[in-house]
Amino acid sequence: MVFISYRKILSTDKYTHRVLWNQHWEKELKVYETFQQGKLPDPPFDHKAAAVTNRLFVFKSSDFDSFRRNIATLQADARGFALAHLTKDQFADKWTSLSPQTRMDHVLEALFQTCTSPLELEAYRTYCPDMTLEGLGREPRAFLDLLAVLVNGTDGELTTFPHPTVNLLLETWERSSAYCSDAVTFEKLRLDRMFFVSMVLWRILLSFYGKDQKHRIQFNGPEKSDWRKFREIRSTLTSPEEQEILAGLKRSMTAKDSKDRTTCWGCGRQEASLQPGTALQACAGCKRVGQRTLYCTRECQKNDWKNGAANCPPHKQTCGIPRKKWATECDFNGGQSFRVIPASTANIISNIIPPPDPGYKRSLELQYQISMLTQNPGDYPDYVLVRDHPHSDIGVNLTDRLIAGTFITARNRAFRNGDRAAVMVMWSFLWVYITGSPLPGVDIKKQLAKEFGVVLTEGMPREKFDPTDEETDAGLQTALLTKGTPIQESLRMHK
């Protein structure tokens, strides 16, 4: 039994017949239902093609580290976007109130945008039988449950989306030497699923809000050593079939390299969509180190130089630096004058945001608070006053370091377990701050009640907050690590 047949999918123009294209996909994905009945489909591996490919490339798990970082970045972006709209805009209620057809329209738009992105993700859908109109749009809980899995993940760590049939299928193939003995192959397939599901979830949210955000990944074209390998292997192949397989691999790599040469790094536009006679221009600084960074206009290049684009740092920080070195050689500090944790003391304040105690489940509102506090690594306000969408939130930094130390001590306890007495301490400090400088749209009692489930009223008896010496020391250490002159507040725009 064939696993997935791409003939009808590939023969349908998804740009002009989007619905039909998706119907072909969903029909093919029903093969997973036959597997549930005990029938094992054949894997989509051509043994002869695999043998030729393995002679060209020997993959290790570490070869996918860059891909893992891309997935983690995508998930962090989607997580922040989802948290903001779940907490500030009641997205879950709005999604539930939509008709099934409207929800499915958003799902179809997300699938189309994901499969037509420059990242060439359509093949990843092969291992995503849950990414269908019915599966995500018919009932509101299906999408919201998957979104909850993403939201409850941790930035910097990969969030997986287990699917029992997919898991069983890949595990069965992996154990069977008749199919493939390379465990790295199946690791990559699991990463493919992770990336595709994350992108579709994000795209559904963007479709709902009528927005578009690009997630940029650099395509790595073939190197000179790759072409040498092609020539060496070609001379050893004797059968016409193997030679055709090698030629197909070369055509595929050339096509990806060609796409890299015709894509604007700033906005993702393809050269073919530009005005006739207009060509992409290369960044001279990157060109000197053998790296292609192309732009469609001077304005696009200037914007990327100053502000960055598609969740990448400003190009002035990375120009002429190989992209593999970004993570270790670039300073991503956003320049905010909040509390800064120097690298030399990072281990001392490793619990700046302590993990929750066993059994304590943080609310979505509290997760959003933490995401706002930590959106610029190493650079934290003491608290964020949340205002309803689309108003900007306000970051607060208490100027007196002893007061700040007490506040952070209580905040850390509340973050760990929602301690009522700790929340009351936080309220007392924030109430004084707000009373001295009224801020429109801020209701701190309502905000803390949503975050911690603690109802606060004026005149209520104050409970005793008795922190341990260890808690007090951690709070004071954080408060003393302030760079420059503390500021009272900073607007944080919600985008």
Q: What is the pLDDT along the chain (495 residues), one digit of tens a residue?
A: 456 777 778 788 888 899 999 999 999 888 888 775 556 666 655 555 555 455 555 567 777 887 888 898 889 889 988 988 888 888 999 999 999 999 999 999 999 989 887 666 888 998 999 999 999 999 999 999 999 999 988 878 899 999 988 888 888 877 765 555 567 778 888 999 999 999 999 999 999 999 876 555 444 444 444 445 545 555 565 566 655 655 655 555 555 555 556 677 777 677 776 778 788 888 888 888 777 788 888 888 888 888 776 556 788 888 877 654 443 333 323 333 455 544 444 443 445 788 899 999 999 899 989 888 877 666 678 899 988 877 788 888 888 888 889 999 999 999 999 999 999 999 988 888 777 666 788 889 999 999 999 988 776 777 889 999 989 988 888 887 644 333 333 323 333
pLDDT at position 260, please? 53
Do 422 and 366 contact (CB within 8 A), yes or no? Answer: no
Q: What is the pLDDT of residue 414?
A: 96
* pTM as predicted: 0.68
Cα(68)–Cα(342) distance, rounded to whole angstroms? 27
pLDDT score of 41: 64
Question: What pLDDT shows up at residue 222?
Answer: 44
Asked whether the bond before 44 is cis by omega within 30 degrees of 0, the reply is no
Burial of 194 per CB tally in 10 Å (0-12, 13-18, 19+): buried
Question: Measuring CA to CA, how many Å separate 182 from each of 114, 192, 200?
Answer: 28, 16, 28
pLDDT of residue 248: 56
